[in-house]
Amino acid sequence: MTSQNTLAYDVGIAGAGVIGLAIARELALRGKKVLLVDKGKAGAQASYASGGMIRPITECEHNQEYLDSCMKSSEMYKQYAEDLKTETGVDIEYRVSGHIKVAMTAEDEEYLKKKYETARKNGVAAELLSKQDVKQRIPFFSDAIRMGLYLPNEHQVNNRKLVDALLIAVKKNGVILREDMEVADLSTLLDSCSVVINCAGAWASSLSSQISVKPIRGQMIRFDVSSLDDLGYIISHHPLYLIPRNDKTLVVGSTVEDVGFDSGVSKEGMSMLKSKAIAVLPELANCPIIESWAGLRPKGEDYVPLIGKLSDRVFCATGHYRNGILLAPLTAQLAADVIIDDTETGIFDPRRFS
Ligand SMILES: Cc1cc2nc3c(=O)[nH]c(=O)nc-3n(C[C@H](O)[C@H](O)[C@H](O)COP(=O)(O)OP(=O)(O)OC[C@H]3O[C@@H](n4cnc5c(N)ncnc54)[C@H](O)[C@@H]3O)c2cc1C
C-alpha cells in the first residue's frame, strides 16, 4: 500500500454492513487509520436482515475453490466469536447447532443423497437420516417427511449481535464512523484517504461501474416458539429454512426475488413462508408471528463475491449474495491483505469479468 502521507486516513470504506465493518476492524487491528462511511445506519441493511447461518456445504458448492474458501471462513468463526467477545463483551451466539435438511418428495431424496456425496468428498461430516431418525430427534416434525441429511458442522451466529459486536470493535480500535452520510462518488473519499474500498452491498455498482451487483430480496418471519421444545437444529426444506435462536424465537426464511431496490415485505411472501413452515412443523400453527422483514442480498454475475483491486487506489468487497455472514472473517483478511500487501485474491478477483 502506497501511503499518501498528507491525507488524514489510510483507508476509506463506503458501506458499513458486516463486510465494511469486518474489514474496518481488521485494518484497524493492523495499525491503519480508517474512515468508515454509511449512507444510513451501520449494519441496518442485508446484514441486519440476514439469517446468520454458516452453511458452506449447503450454499457454496458451485465450484471447488469457492467451497474451500467458504469452509475456511466457517472454520475461522469459533475463534472470531471468541475474539469479538473478549474485545467487546458481546456474545454473537455462535451456535454449533448442526443442520438437518429434509426430503418430502422423491426428488428431494435424490438431491439430499447428492449433497451427502459432496460433503463426504470434501471430508465434511454428514449423515443420512431415516424418517424415524428425524422424528426421534424432532418429535413434532411433519409426518410427510421421508428422510433427512444431518450436517453437524453447519452452524449459526446471531447476525444482529455480530453487527453490534463489530460496531463496538471498530470504535474501540479507533475507526472513525460516519453514519447518515452518502458517498456520492468514491473520488470524494480519495480526497482524504490513501485508498478506498467499495463495500456498498447491493448498491455497489452505483459507486463502481466496472462491477455488476444487483439486489435480490429475501423476506423473513419470526415465530415466538416459547411454547415448544427447543428445535436444537437449523432445519431446511428448500427454499425454506428455520433457525432456532437462543431467545426461544424461530427465524424462518426466505424468498429469493428480483424486484429491484424494494425492501418491503409482501402479503404473498409472508403467507408462503408461514404455510411452508407449518407444512414442515405443524405445531407452528399455534405459535404467534412476532416480526417480519426483508433485505437485499448483493448478487454479482456469479455466486462468488468480488474482493480485490479495481484500480490503483480503489478496491471492492461486495457481491456476497447468500453468504456474507459466513464469509465475513475471511473477507476481512483477504481485503486487508490485498490493500496492505497487494496480494492476489484468486477466484474473488473483481476484474475476472473484464
Ligand atoms: C433474508 C436474507 C437472509 C440471509 N441469510 C444469510 C445467512 O444465513 N448466512 C449468510 O452468510 N448470509 C446470509 N445473507 C446474506 C448476507 O446477509 C449478505 O451477504 C451480507 O449481509 C452482505 O453484507 P454487506 O455488508 O455487503 O451489505 P449490507 O449489509 O447491505 O451493507 C451495505 C451497506 O452499504 C451502505 N451503502 C450503500 N450505498 C452507499 C453509499 N453510496 N454511501 C455510503 N454507504 C452506502 C448501505 O447503507 C449498507 O449499510 C442473507 C441475506 C438476506 C437478505
Q: 15-31: per-residue pLDDT in tens?
A: 999 999 999 999 999 99
Query: Using one digit for the tens of pLDDT, what is the confidence trace for 44-100?
Result: 999 999 999 999 988 887 788 999 999 999 999 999 999 999 999 999 999 998 999
Residue 326 CA, closest ligand 1 atom number = 11
Residue 350 DSSP label: G
Protein residue whose Cα sits closest to atom 35 of ligand 1: 15
On whether the CB atoms of residues 128 and 112 are closer than 8 A, the answer is yes
Q: How far is the CA of 166 from the centre of ligand 1 (A)?
A: 14
Residue 53 β-bridge partners: 156
Nearest to 208 by CA among 11, 6, 15, 24: 15
Residue 197 β-bridge partners: 13, 315
- Other CB atoms within a 10 A radius of the CB of residue 64 amount to 12
Query: Using one digit for the tens of pLDDT, what is the confidence trace for 207-254?
Result: 999 999 999 999 999 999 999 998 999 999 988 999 999 999 999 999
Protein residue whose Cα sits closest to atom 37 of ligand 1: 200
Q: Where are the domains of the chain?
A: 9-91+158-212+302-353, 99-154+215-299
Q: How far is the CA of 46 from the centre of ligand 1 (A)?
A: 3
Please report how the helices 159-172 and 18-29 are oriented relative to each other, as an axis angle in degrees rounded to 10.
30
Q: Residue 5: pLDDT above 70?
A: no
Query: Cα(314)–Cα(25) distance, rounded to whole angstroms?
Result: 19
DSSP string, 168-230: HHHHHTT-EEE-S---S-HHHHHTTEEEEEE--GGGGGGT-TTS--EEEEEEEEEEE-TTS--
Protein residue whose Cα sits closest to atom 12 of ligand 1: 323
Q: For the full predicted model, state whether its pTM sits above 0.95.
A: yes
Indicate the pairing of strand 289-299 with strand 214-224: antiparallel
The arithmetic mean of pLDDT across residues 173-202, rounded, is 98
CA 39 to the chain's CA centroid: 20
Backbone angles phi, psi at 89, to 5 degrees: 80, -5
Q: How far is the CA of 141 from the centre of ligand 1 (A)?
A: 32
Q: Residue 1: pLDDT above 70?
A: no
**CATH number at 9-91+158-212+302-353:** 3.50.50.60
Protein residue whose Cα sits closest to atom 2 of ligand 1: 50
Residue 57 β-bridge partners: none
Q: Which of 39, 69, 164, 217 is the pocket-test mutation for ligand 1 (most atoms within 8 Å of CB)?
A: 39
Protein residue whose Cα sits closest to atom 15 of ligand 1: 322
* Residue labelled with grid coordinates 455462535: 94
Average pLDDT, the chain: 95
The arithmetic mean of pLDDT across residues 254-270, rounded, is 97
What residues line ligand 1, using a CB cutoff of 6 Å? Answer: 14-20, 37-40, 44-47, 49-53, 182-183, 199-203, 207, 218, 220, 253-254, 295, 297-298, 318, 320-326
Cell digits of residue 170: 471498530
99-154+215-299 classified as CATH 3.60.21.10: no
Backbone angles phi, psi at 164, to 5 degrees: -60, -45
